[in-house]
Amino acid sequence: MSGIDDLMAQSNDRWADAMRRAQGVEDNGLGEAVKAYYTRYFPAGFFILVAAGTVGGTLAFRGTPERWPTFLLTFGFLLGFIGALIGGLVYNAKKVVPAAKLGRIDVLLSLENEEKKQVRRQIAGKAPIDPEHLSVTRAAAVQLRRRLATQLILAPLYPLIFIPQVVNLDLRGDSLFAWLMAIGVGVIVAGIGFLARDFRRAGRFLARTAEQTASGNAPL
């Protein structure tokens, strides 16, 4: 039985390390930060910058009204992309980063792959919750949610790179290439949807398990 005892001791040591790393990790409003970005800051800032870039390009190059789509797809989207990049990085640093306490190390670092997989399955709602190690699973959910929040803040940049090219190709009559690129944009958008799904799953897990912890803090 010594072999089994050794394995159990090693497992206990791994979880003890994970529990120490989980102390102090908490979500202090990641959901609200991401929601505010997508419902207020990004749409307002992007459309203002696109309009400003379009008008500015038209005036600078003395474009005629018939050429405004060209200026929209070049100067307008270019300024919108640059603004979204800079604004997203600033918003992430000012609003997203302070919205979670992460600790200095990944809480799952000491666990084996199968143990990490079980933790992620619990967060995704695909496995029963292990109350003995709930503090570790909740901390892992916060760290996952924080990484996903940053990805979601920067995610709109990827389709913005390709949308003007798709429209330009279509306007030039390159329908085949336009469709292929449009499919690529669709794949990117679908990927963003998966990020949002995982972000919400982690949030629901934290809300569902909040009453089982001493902190009682749960994200919206």
Instruction: Read off the tokens for 69.
Output: 């789509």
In a domain, 217, yes or no: no
Instruction: Read off the tokens for 110.
Output: 């000491």
How far is it, in rounded angstroms, from Cα 130 to Cα 122?
8
In a domain, 218, yes or no: no
Q: What pLDDT tens digit does each residue of the chain (220 aa) get?
A: 455 645 566 777 888 898 999 999 999 999 999 999 999 999 999 899 888 888 777 777 775 666 666 666 677 888 888 999 999 999 999 999 999 998 888 999 888 999 999 999 999 999 999 999 999 999 999 999 999 999 999 998 888 877 777 766 555 656 677 777 788 888 889 999 999 999 999 999 999 998 765 444 444 3
User: For tokens 């670092």, what's the residue?
Assistant: 109
| Axis crossing angle, helix 113-123 with helix 175-209, rounded to the nearest 10 | 90
The number of domains in the chain is 1
In a domain, 44, yes or no: yes
Q: What is the pLDDT of residue 3?
A: 53
Contacts of 24 (CB under 8 A, 6+ apart): 101, 103
Query: Residue 100 belongs to what H/E stretch?
Result: strand 100-101
Instruction: Read off the tokens for 125.
Output: 């709602």
Domain that holds residue 60: 2-212
Instruction: Read off the tokens for 188.
Output: 């990117």
User: For tokens 């050429």, what's the residue?
Assistant: 67
In a domain, 163, yes or no: yes
In a domain, 220, yes or no: no
In a domain, 207, yes or no: yes
In a domain, 81, yes or no: yes
Q: What is the pLDDT of residue 29?
A: 94
Q: What is the pLDDT of residue 216?
A: 44
Q: What is the pLDDT of residue 218?
A: 40
